């Protein structure tokens, strides 16, 4: 027993010294609510022309992101920014690139009401779901209600999204002392810290817990305008300031950045080194960094496997 306590204390001490924390092994979600939310997440009923579902912009086979530069919504309309991953979004300190939603409840509400995405309002969503015998029974079984309200619908989708965690990445296992990394992977992590990437990409989600300007050393110019933090605050100082994206499952979520301009991890590393670090990396350094980033791919969310 004493050995176990000492071992646990050592592991906790190691966590405290590391700027990155492992994802918990259990999501702790209400499974019945999450499974109902999963049905809604994949259902085009929640879009005006029955053509778009949440999964269209957050492809669970693409790391919960979109392989397109911008997503396609209602009536073939194009979005105005690259869709970020919904995997591990419960650990984001805010939602959307500019942080305009403070939690997942506000995030879910956004696309449903957006005229470019689902193009519906809460009343029509309520009517459609209440008109479905299947959903009437499902909500009655899960929530114990006879009339489904919009808040119930959002709540179920949020519960599903909370279950979209990807634990047991190789790096998480390394942090827990279960396995070792290769020399190249460890060198990549060392470089990640030495060059200051860890300043913004830290915590449980290895990002998504702060805002940062894209182009702190060398200005980052885009052909188009994007909804950055300035679009919320109207302060010029927030021009090109975005929520720092998570690096978890980064090998699955190309293209990268708010504008989808980087098609590969190498391009993304080159751009960040130039614009936000002010350095030029060698081929070996970039290879080691990619080796480290590949260790951040976790397991497929368990909720996706459940029926």
Residue ranges per structural domain of the chain:
31-165, 170-294
In this structure, the number of other CB atoms found within 10 A of the CB of residue 241 comes to: 20
What pLDDT does residue 7 have?
Answer: 39
Is the torsion defined by CA of 162, 57, 220, 237 positive or negative?
Answer: negative
Q: Of 197, 211, 202, 203, whose CA–CA distance to 95 is shortest?
A: 211
Q: Which CATH number fits domain 31-165: 3.90.550.10, 3.40.50.11900, 1.10.760.10, 3.30.70.980?
A: 1.10.760.10
Is there a catalytic annotation at residue 117?
yes
Q: Is the pLDDT reported for residue 1 higher than 80?
A: no
Mean pLDDT of 288-294: 98
Mean pLDDT of 271-297: 98
Question: What's the pTM?
Answer: 0.92
Catalytic residue among 117, 126, 161, 285: 117
Top CATH class, 170-294:
mainly alpha
What confidence tens digit (pLDDT) does each residue in 3-46 have? 333 433 444 444 457 999 999 999 999 999 999 999 999 999 99
Domains 31-165 and 170-294 share a fold: yes
What confidence tens digit (pLDDT) does each residue in 231-245 have? 999 999 999 999 999
- Rounded CA-CA distance 218/270 in Å is 13
- Rounded CA-CA distance 293/301 in Å is 19
Average pLDDT along the chain: 94
What confidence tens digit (pLDDT) does each residue in 71-121 have? 999 999 999 999 999 999 999 999 999 999 999 999 999 999 999 999 999
Owner of token pair 């933090």: 229
């Amino acid at each position: 027993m004493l050995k176990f306590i000492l071992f646990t204390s050592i592991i906790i001490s190691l966590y405290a010294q590391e700027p990155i924390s492992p994802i918990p092994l259990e999501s702790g979600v209400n499974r019945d609510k999450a499974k109902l939310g999963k049905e809604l997440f994949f259902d085009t009923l929640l879009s005006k022309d029955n053509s778009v579902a949440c999964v269209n912009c957050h492809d669970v086979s693409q790391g919960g992101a979109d392989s397109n530069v911008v997503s396609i919504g209602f009536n073939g309309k194009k979005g105005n920014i690259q869709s970020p991953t919904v995997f591990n979004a419960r650990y984001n300190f805010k939602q959307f690139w500019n942080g305009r939603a403070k939690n997942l409840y506000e995030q879910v509400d956004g696309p449903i009401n957006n005229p470019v995405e689902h193009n519906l309002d809460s009343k029509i969503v309520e009517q459609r779901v209440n008109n479905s015998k299947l959903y009437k029974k499902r909500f009655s079984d899960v929530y114990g209600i006879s009339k489904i309200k919009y808040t119930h619908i959002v709540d179920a989708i949020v519960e599903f999204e909370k279950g979209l965690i990807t634990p047991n990445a190789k790096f998480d296992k390394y942090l827990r002392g279960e396995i070792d990394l290769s020399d190249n992977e460890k060198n990549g992590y060392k470089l990640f810290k030495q060059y200051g990437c860890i300043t913004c990409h830290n915590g449980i989600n290895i990002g998504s817990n702060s805002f940062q300007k894209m182009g702190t050393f060398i200005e980052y110019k885009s052909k188009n305008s994007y909804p950055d933090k300035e679009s919320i605050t109207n302060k010029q100082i927030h021009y090109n300031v975005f929520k720092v994206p998570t690096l978890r499952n980064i090998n699955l979520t190309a293209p990268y950045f708010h504008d989808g301009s980087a098609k590969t991890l190498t391009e993304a590393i080159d751009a960040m080194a130039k614009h936000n670090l002010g350095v030029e990396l060698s081929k070996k350094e970039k290879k080691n960094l990619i080796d480290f980033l590949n260790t951040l791919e976790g397991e497929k969310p368990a909720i996706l496997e459940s029926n």
